[in-house]
Amino acid sequence: MDQRDEQEFAEYFAARRDAVRRTAYMLCGDWHRADDLAQTAFVALHRRWKKIRDRAATDAYVRKTLVRASIDESRRPWRREWQTETLPEPPDDTPGLDDLVATREDLLAALKEVPPKQRAVLVLRFFEGLDVTGAAKALGCSEGNVKSQTARGLANLRQVLEREVETNG
């Protein structure tokens, strides 16, 4: 890449890095993995920067790369988390900031239990604000697939959240 391309990429990176990282976090629920996913997306973008003719489509390219990287990571067996019945430390009973963000934490925990493709559709539709057409383009699938994955994802999310309410009040 020449100096001008490097400068354009650096400006795009500086402007979009936080938004891409937040989207990655919504996809995986872990800030460390979100950093890895965002890095993967930006490295892929840097490799193709010179070939991208329509700079307005750059966000869509990054989003698609991010979703695919997230799904690929979830398929790797060494990345799977093992759930245990007991926590390593007893919970602190004093009310604090945790109580203020309980619903957010419950939502993020529930998102982790939704299958990766359904989670990707939910994040793109409801957190990124894409419509069905935009999500279909980002995922490289049909609009009907996005609609069915959205319905299934919402049903799974409701089921997980209801189970959480029944278990923990």
* pLDDT digit string (tens) for the chain, length 169 residues: 788 889 999 999 999 999 999 999 999 888 999 999 999 999 999 999 988 888 888 999 999 999 999 888 777 665 555 666 776 665 555 544 344 335 777 788 888 899 999 999 999 998 888 999 999 999 999 999 999 999 999 999 888 887 766 666 5
| H and E: helices and strands count for the chain | 8, 0
Amino acid at position 152, single letter: R
Distance, CA of 21 to chain centre: 9
With beta carbons less than 8 A apart as the criterion, state whether 28 and 73 touch. yes
Q: Are residues 102 and 152 located together in one domain of the fold?
A: yes
Q: Are residues 66 and 2 located together in one domain of the fold?
A: yes
User: Per the structure, how many domains does the chain have?
Assistant: 2
**Domain final residue, candidates 44, 76, 108:** 76
Q: Are residues 15 and 70 located together in one domain of the fold?
A: yes
Task: Write out the residue range of the structural domain in which residue 128 sits.
Answer: 95-168
Residue whose token pair is 């460390």:
32
Q: What is the CATH number of the domain that holds 64?
A: 1.10.1740
Is residue 8 included in any domain, yes or no? yes
Query: How is 44-77 classified by DSSP, letter by letter?
Result: HHHHHGGG---GGGHHHHHHHHHHHHHHHHHH-G
Is residue 83 included in any domain, yes or no? no
**Cut 0.75: pTM above it:** no
